[in-house]
Amino acid sequence: MRKRRNFRVIAGKKQEEKGKSGKLLYKLIWLGVGLLLLQLSWSAGRKVVAAVFVKTVSAQKGVLEQSLSVEGVIIRQERVVAAPVSGTLHWQAEAGERLAIGETVATIVTAAGNTHTVTMPEPGIVVKELDGLESTLQPLIIEDPTSLIIKKIIQNERHVQNLADRSEVQQGSLVFKVVNNYTWYYAVQFPKEHFASFDGKQTVYLRFAGSENIAAKVKYLEEDAEKVTAILVLQQSVEGCYDKRFLAAEIIAARSAGIVLPASAILLRDGQAGVYVLEKSLVRYYPVEVLQTGKDKVAVDGLREGMSVIINPRLVKEGQRI
């Protein structure tokens, strides 16, 4: 009887190498699939991020101003009128009223019962408030702007007078003033860094509280180590400010009409300004001409009104779909 022999299968080298090659190929396939999925997910994720975080504005026409907030002093032709006699004052005209020469402003009744009429010495606006600077701040002193600005510091020392009806007045005391309502001067000082905005300008615009833009000629402009002194000539009075001496205003050195956008929308490409516009979910680049820059806005040319402009362009790239 034959004995059963136990056999052991010995793997050959070729079979072992074939197994290793299969595993490596399997791993490479899965690595490729993983990279593809990662790329797809990154692309999709970027689109989602862009769709969520990219901000746009509709391009709209507007006017961008380069302005500066200042506080200045008004200089105008003013003539003070004194009481011809002592007695009780009775106003016959309203403050801010324009009257012709010879028209009645007030009457003064003396202790003896006599009535004296006070009339306009020249045509102009009746101003009842006196600040004590009428004789000091006259148009003639603009020939010496340095002394003018020195005078400005006395604003806290002025003594305002505004006589009520039936006040007692003394002969020779000041009662009211007549303000010329044609040429006014506005003297200001502002920081030196703003000098370039005004240098070479012949005309700027002034906007006082509640007023429209008023054209003003630059009569005097001087720069020193710290500040700029300017005197502007207004060819009209400022409504509602006949009794005001010190006024805050906006000086508008430049105005440009165009498409007004947030400054963050502007990109520079080889020295050329441009913006990204979203058109049918596609990011496109448009070169623009910058007409005016402001603190956080720009006025540009080169876009159509209504275009969807991306205002955080660094989140996207040209040709990207969102």
Give yes or no for residue 185 having a pLDDT over 60. Answer: yes
Domain of 79: which CATH number?
Answer: 2.40.50.100
Give the residue-averaged pLDDT of 207-214.
85
Rounded average pLDDT over 71-85: 92
pLDDT digits 0-9 by tens, 269-285: 988 999 999 998 899 99
Alpha helices in the chain (DSSP H): 13-53, 145-152, 195-198
Mean pLDDT for the chain? 84
Domain that holds residue 268: 53-64+257-315
Residue 37 lies in a domain: no
Choosing from 241, 256, 271, the residue where a domain stops is: 256
Number of compact structural domains in the chain: 2
Q: Is residue 12 part of a domain?
A: no
Task: Mark whether 289 and 277 lie in a shared domain.
Answer: yes
d(CA 251, CA 195): 12
137 or 280: which leads in pLDDT: 280
Phi-psi region of 213 (alpha: psi -120 to 50; beta: other; left: phi over 0): beta
pLDDT at 156 over 70: no
Mean pLDDT for 16-25 is 58
Identify which of 241, 244, 106 has the alpha carbon closest to the alpha carbon of residue 176: 106
Residues 193 and 285 reside in one and the same domain: no
Residue 197: inside a domain, yes or no? Answer: yes
131 domain residue, yes or no: yes
Global confidence as pTM = 0.67
Residue (of 226, 218, 222) closest to 192 by Cα position: 226
pLDDT above 70 coverage of the chain, percent = 80
d(CA 310, CA 158): 54
Final residue of a structural domain among 230, 256, 282 = 256
Most confident range (mean pLDDT) of 107-111, 149-153, 159-163, 217-221 is: 107-111
Confidence of residue 104 (pLDDT cuts 50, 70, 90): very high
Average pLDDT of span 252-263: 90
Question: From the DSSP assignment, how many helices (H) and strands (E) are in the chain?
Answer: 3, 21
- At 232, the pLDDT band (50, 70, 90 cuts) reads very high
